[in-house]
A = this chain, B = another copy of it.
Amino acid sequence: MATVAEKFATIVGPANVLAGDRIGPDYHHDEALVGPPQAPRYLVYPGSAEETAALLVMASDAGVPVTARGSGTGLSGACRPVADGLVLSFERMATILEIDVDNQVAIVQPGVTLAALEEATRPYGLMYSVFPGEQSASIGGNVATNAGGMRAVRYGVTRHNVLGLQAALASGDLIRTGGKLTKVSTGYDLTQLIIGSEGTLALATEVTLRLFPRPAHSATLMVAFDDLTAVMAAVPTVLRTGVAPSILEYLDTRTLDALSQAQGLELGIDPTVRSAAQAYLVIGLDNREQDRLDADITMIGELLDNSGSLDIYVLNGNSARLLIEARDKAFWSAKAAHADEILDVVVPRASMPEFFVRAEGLARLSNAHLAGCGHAGDGNVHLAVFCPDDDREHLLHSIFSIALELGGAISGEHGLGRIKTAHFSALTDPANLALMRRIKDSFDPAGILNPGVILD
């Protein structure tokens, strides 16, 4: 009788199935800081949507749990395998199928990276707006976690930029949802349901993405403030103007120090300001025309001058690029500084100051400390948590509880994965959880798709 691995090989060919010790350690984990790696039993590389669907049927029949994997850059352990499970890696499905200029749409396979898409869209003067920072991340992974990033304040997150999917169901059916369409009112929105489901409902085998015209001129402002409360007070002031910044980030001084140390970032900030400022607002502006951009910079600068900023720096092209790149790599700087966990809690943006004060209070009680940066326009907080192991889960639970009390959620863009699902279960209304479980069952009755993620 054929082994399970042999059965998989009948679908994808023997060269595309690995088992046991032949599976390299890269496939045992993603970039989540918490929890041990886990070897899967099988690693399979499908070459097409049809192969993906056939693999799911076979896994269902054999009762083998399936964890889909893009580039493995996730931060919540959503592609950390299950023992005895199958890792279904989309590396071979990495073709950009179409750039449709008139409809401003790209159609890609899930293994396509953000870097590849950036390169492919640039010659057309178009761009894919979602910018979570890690350019080696795959579109399939972005769909699974509903990736966000710095430009969400203007363009929205993955959810707002995926127009349609082809997806493989556990039943082996391949369905198509949405299309090159920005609006549809024709049945339930399966596209939106699958986005952010972290591989637990269906696997995207083709993704239709919205593209935007690439702005011609851009600038980055770095604005120093006394503290985070002052930064956050400036945010609604900026947004009320209607200028619609493409980036609206905050950094605390600990994070700026870590970025500077880890990446040699030099921004020419006056030492007096540097020692006085506890927090910074980073504002990205762009425009089709340089003179309008210049006028916007002046207007925003004057506004913030009158709103208690300590100093404002218009970064030149190189400094701006370095700052944004450093901010992209904030995760790596925090990791280098031995952070124990990186959170991405989201709260209503006006509640960020209260959140910071209460989270700091909790951290002090646990002898922990926090450093942070994040998406000030979206209320999305990236907290690096430095905390002794035995107190950590308790502290995280308390921080999540505060976020929920303020009307927020556990994750704004990283997803729950294996490392936050237990907190989600404990903190979520049982009626919501029960409904989500029934939805999960309606897609995946055998429970083979990434068990233990989102629902435990």
State the A residues within 8 Å of B (CB): 100-105, 125, 145-148, 152-153, 156-157, 159-160, 169, 171, 173-177, 179-190, 192-193, 195-197, 201, 212-213, 215-216, 236, 239-243, 288, 292, 344, 346-350, 375, 378-380, 407-416, 424, 428-429, 431-432, 435-436, 438-443, 454
Contact = CB atoms under 8 A, between A and B. Distances in A.
B182 A152 contact: yes
A102 B176 contact: no
Contacts of A181: 346-348, 378-379, 407-409, 412
B148 A185 contact: yes
Contacts of A193: 188-189, 192-193, 439
A185 B431 contact: no
Contacts of A410: 186
A380 B432 CA distance: 34
A189 B182 contact: no
A189 B186 contact: no
A412 B185 contact: yes
Contacts of A432: 175-177, 187, 190
A203 to B, nearest CB: 14
A160 B428 CA distance: 24
A157 B424 CA distance: 30
Given A192-B192, A193-B193, A443-B435, A380 B240 contact: no
A346 B183 contact: yes
A216 B412 CA distance: 32
Given A188-B197, A454-B188, A183 B428 contact: no
Nearest to A215: B242
Given A175-B435, A190-B435, A241-B288, A185 B145 contact: yes
A376 B45 CA distance: 42
Contacts of A196: 185, 187-189
A352 B451 CA distance: 44
A446 to B, nearest CB: 14
Nearest to A163: B348
Contact of A442 (B153, B174, B346, B438): B438
A349 B193 CA distance: 25
Contacts of A413: 183, 185
Contacts of A441: 442
Given A102-B349, A183-B157, A169 B435 contact: yes
Given A152-B183, A188-B196, A196-B189, A175 B431 contact: yes
Contacts of A184: 146, 346, 409, 411-412
Contacts of A189: 146, 159, 192-193, 195-196
Contacts of A190: 432, 435-436
Contact of A183 (B148, B187, B435): B148
A429 B166 CA distance: 13
Nearest to A197: B188
